[in-house]
Structure 1
Amino acid sequence: MLTLNSMRILCLSRASLRPNGLMTTNRQYVYEAVTCSAHCMSTSFPMKDTWHHKTNFRALGKETKPLFYTIPIGSPRNYCTGQVKLSCWKCKQPLDNSPAFFCMSCKVVQPPDEGTSFFKIMDCDYTFTLDTQKLQKRYLQLQRSLHPDNFSQKSVKEQEYSEIQSALVNKAYKTLLKPLSRGLYMLELKGMHIEEGTDSSADSEFLMELMEINEALDEARTPEAANRIGQDAKGKLAHLTKEIDAALLKGDLQTAKALLAQMKYYANIEEKVKEKLSELM
């Protein structure tokens, strides 16, 4: 029979681990140990980076089992073991949406909801083939309301939050706009990353083909010759886009990673074609 102290140590150690072996950061502040229904704890914490361990006993049938929560003290927001409910930093009223850019009660701009994905910020479906027109419309809408120029007469805190939010929206838009950066970001959300430089796992035949394309581009002396290379690269990118989308839909992340590595090369060729055309014009 385990003692209470032994159970506490075991539960807290399990609660601090995630499936990937990483500590959860940012918004995922509450760790659930043993068994827990969504009993909420709404507490305003002082700004101090310390940890507090709370033991809660709840009767389950004939037994009473201890529930342990590891809660970081360091945020003025309110937290819940079920669903996190945020409050406005100024009027303290609950925020209806997530991410919340403005408080619906007092209308002040809010700080970023850390850990929120770019897809959620831009109100886009989590898919490789997202609607770029919808993305652009959302971007313009957010920038019209969040641009720092709109807050020049507001408090220092509101000016700071508007700058941070505006920069975050810019980054989210640029990341999701192009297929390559979008795909790389989707892999990053899954804990995968493509290193810079030559892919050591790339097929030698593929690398030889790239070398020939680059040589042909260097030797191009007319805009027409450079354009033909550019069109070929565009065709390759379109084909890769379909293949990457299919791989991501199937959850085949390794294949998607390999195809995105190829996409990086062809995207680079496309940029070189633009540079070559500017030289020849």
Structure 2
Amino acid sequence: MLKKKLFPTTLSTFFLSRTLTSIPQHSHLKLSLHAFPSPPLRDLLCHNPAFCFSLGSLRFCGESFCSKPAEKFESRCWNCHAESKPESEPFLLCHSCRCIQPVDHSVDYFEIFGSERKYDLESSYLEGKYKEWQKKLHPDLVHTKSQKERDFAAEQSARVNDAYRTLGKPLSRGIYMLKLDGVEIDEEQTISDPELLAEIMEIREAVEEANNSEALNQILSQMQEKLQNWSNSFAHAFQNRNFEEAKIAIRRMTYYSRVIDEVVKKL
């Protein structure tokens, strides 16, 4: 009886060992308990605190079989080979020789601006950080550097510009935050809500018929208020991880933003 109980665990452990040793170093894979259908093996992983193993960027430890992010591989400066410091600013500039580094796409837009991932961002803060980066990265300021570093400066400057534009507006910021969570938004999705369709037709009619700045400014004020209300709805939905409600809010915000742009052009 004892042999029958031990055999599945031993066999499963053998196959796990063979699997792990056959995976190339630095592979980035995700595992869950569903990957191990054998109950004895799950028991071994979940209840043996001494059983730990690393797999690519993940580390699995016994008791709860919780994945913990492995430490990032340290980036090194292409010029002086100094390692980046985890506590320092994003590795756009080398902290040692101050050379501009190639773009690292693992650094997200919030990290570039030294902010946590949050929807409520002060525009003055973003603008201040943006100007700080441009003083260091703008191609015109590195014209005496090597061609290689000038190329890096152009790439980094363009990425900082894109980050500033994206985080600077509630709509694009919300879409980006959803993207970071793996939620894609189809901004061109056909509207099927009858109530919203009726509202769209009514507002477009009002914009077309408006023949003075007073009427247009009144529509603009209404759209800005609606945009703010749905922005608040998005913030609430995102905070509660209700991505479906967040997507609905984004679609509404997209429409009202377009109306605002049309009104501004007509003013």
TM-score of the two chains, using structure 1 as the length reference: 0.72
Describe the shift of the 1:198–1:4 C-alpha distance in structure 2 as closer, same or farther (beyond 3 A).
closer
Contact kept, 8 Å, 2:92 with 2:101, in 1: the verdict is: yes
Q: Between the two proteins, what is the percent identity of the paired residues?
A: 33
Contact kept, 8 Å, 2:84 with 2:94, in 1: the verdict is: yes
Distance 1:116 1:66 in 2: 27
Residue identity opposite 1:108 in structure 2: C
Is 1:8 the counterpart of 2:35 in the alignment?
no
Distance 1:247 1:2 in 2: 43
Residue identity opposite 2:142 in structure 1: F
Secondary structure at the counterpart of residue 221 of structure 1: coil
Consecutive aligned runs of 4 or more in structure 1 exceeding 4 Å deviation: 2-6, 65-70
What residue number does 1:89 align with? 78
Q: Deviations over 1:61-109 (max 9, x none)?
A: 6x9x886659xxxxxxxxx953322221111112223522222222211
Secondary structure at the counterpart of residue 196 of structure 1: coil
Question: Residue 4 of structure 1: CA displacement?
Answer: 5.3
Residue identity opposite 1:208 in structure 2: A
What residue number does 1:211 align with? 201
Distance 2:70 2:167 in 1: 32
Is 1:115 the counterpart of 2:106 in the alignment?
yes
Describe the shift of the 1:235–1:94 C-alpha distance in structure 2 as closer, same or farther (beyond 3 A).
same
Describe the shift of the 1:276–1:69 C-alpha distance in structure 2 as closer, same or farther (beyond 3 A).
closer
Structure 2 residue corresponding to 1:156, chosen from 147, 162, 165: 147
Q: Please, which runs of 5 or more residues in structure 1 have no aligned partner? A: 21-33, 36-59, 71-79
What residue number does 1:142 align with? 133
Is 1:242 the counterpart of 2:214 in the alignment?
no
Contact kept, 8 Å, 1:122 with 1:139, in 2: the verdict is: yes
Describe the shift of the 1:155–1:16 C-alpha distance in structure 2 as closer, same or farther (beyond 3 A).
closer
What residue number does 1:197 align with? 188
What residue number does 2:30 align with? 18
Residue identity opposite 2:179 in structure 1: E
Question: Residue 271 of structure 1: CA displacement?
Answer: 0.5
Describe the shift of the 1:19–1:263 C-alpha distance in structure 2 as closer, same or farther (beyond 3 A).
farther
Describe the shift of the 1:248–1:2 C-alpha distance in structure 2 as closer, same or farther (beyond 3 A).
closer
Q: Deviations over 1:134-184 (max 9, x none)?
A: 000000110011101121111111111111110010000000000000001
The equivalences for 1:1-281 within 5 A come to 1-2=11-12, 7-9=17-19, 12=23, 16-18=28-30, 82-96=71-85, 97-200=88-191, 202-277=192-267
Greater helix share, 1 or 2?
A: 2
Q: Please, which runs of 5 or more residues in structure 2 have no aligned partner? A: 1-10, 33-43, 58-68
Distance 1:84 1:6 in 2: 25
RMSD of aligned alpha carbons:
2.8
Aligned length: 227
Residue identity opposite 1:17 in structure 2: L
Contact kept, 8 Å, 2:134 with 2:157, in 1: the verdict is: yes
Residue identity opposite 1:240 in structure 2: W
Distance 2:78 2:222 in 1: 53
